[in-house]
Structure 1
């Protein structure tokens, strides 16, 4: 089934069914974002443990660090 087929099938649904699909998609997007945040957390935790993270409250130092990364 192609994306186009799915779009056409959704068009034929009732408003109630379309709203249910909308709710499901919103839920899936939220879950995907949570997984992404958790994955980034695990990477940051690993980097911190390996001493790869630098912390600073000095704005100039932070800006220099960002410039060096790009």
Structure 2
């Protein structure tokens, strides 16, 4: 099924069904974002354990770190 098929199928649904799909999509997107945040957190933990994270309160040093 292509994206266009999905869009067309959604257009043919009732308003209530469209609203249900909207709620489901919001939930799916929220769950995916949580998973992404969790994976980034775990990755940062590994970097911290390896001593690869750098911290600074100096704005110029932070800019330099970003550019690396």
TM-score bracket for the superposition, by shorter chain length:
over 0.9
Residue 5 of structure 1: how far off its partner (Å): 1.1
Aligned residues: 68
Residue 7 of structure 1: how far off its partner (Å): 0.9
Structure 2: unaligned runs, 5 residues or longer: none
CA distance in 1, matches of 2:66, 2:7: 42
Residue 3 of structure 1: how far off its partner (Å): 1.3
- Please give the secondary structure, in 1, of the residue aligned with 2:56: coil
Query: What TM-score results when the alignment is normalised by the length of structure 1?
Result: 0.91
> C-alpha root-mean-square deviation of aligned residues, in Å?
0.8
Residues 1-70 of structure 1: matches in 2 within 5 Å?
1-67=1-67, 69=68
Runs of 4+ in 1 over 3 A off after TM superposition: none
Q: Deviations over 1:24-57 (max 9, x none)?
A: 0011011111101000001100000000001111
Query: What TM-score results when the alignment is normalised by the length of structure 2?
Result: 0.94
- Please give the secondary structure, in 2, of the residue aligned with 1:65: helix
